[in-house]
Amino acid sequence: MNVKIFDLQELAEESEGEYVLGLKDLHTHAVYIVYGFLEPGETGRKVLPGKGHEEILSITKGEVRVKTPDKTFKLKSGEAVHVKEDDEWTLENTGDETVFYVLAGGHPPKVH
């Protein structure tokens, strides 16, 4: 069995705070994961699943403010929300510690 381990922290650091582990690395459209972090005071990180995609946003450390067109809410370590294909959200770190998050994505039924 061939197992490849990806250092998502290092890849995110090299990619301005966010890395998508998906088609390029996995050679499949079925699933992907986004690993990212926001430094204290960092704002404007977009969450845009796009047509034919849905994601689950999970905060693994810290707390972020999530802005949607309709409302703003906080999401903290251990919490997760479902992001649908048409959603356009923005993440902001208003705290004093680095926030780490994961977006797990896939395709809803009947897309592929």
- CATH number at 58 reads 2.60.120.10
Beta-carbon contacts of residue 33 (< 8 Å; ≥ 6 apart): 8, 20, 21, 22, 102, 103, 104, 105
pTM equals 0.89
Question: What residue spans of the chain are helical by DSSP H?
Answer: 8-14, 23-26
Beta bridge partners of residue 100, listed in sequence order: 37, 61
pLDDT of residue 36: 96
Beta bridge partners of residue 58, listed in sequence order: 80, 102
Is residue 41, in this structure, part of any structural domain at all?
Answer: no
Is residue 2, in this structure, part of any structural domain at all?
Answer: no
Give 36: exposed, middle or buried? Use CB within 10 Å, 0-12, 13-18, 19+.
Answer: buried
pLDDT digit string (tens) for 86-108?
889 999 999 999 999 999 998 76
pLDDT digit string (tens) for 15-66?
999 999 998 999 887 889 999 999 999 999 999 888 888 999 999 999 999 9
Residue range of the domain that includes 23: 8-34+49-106
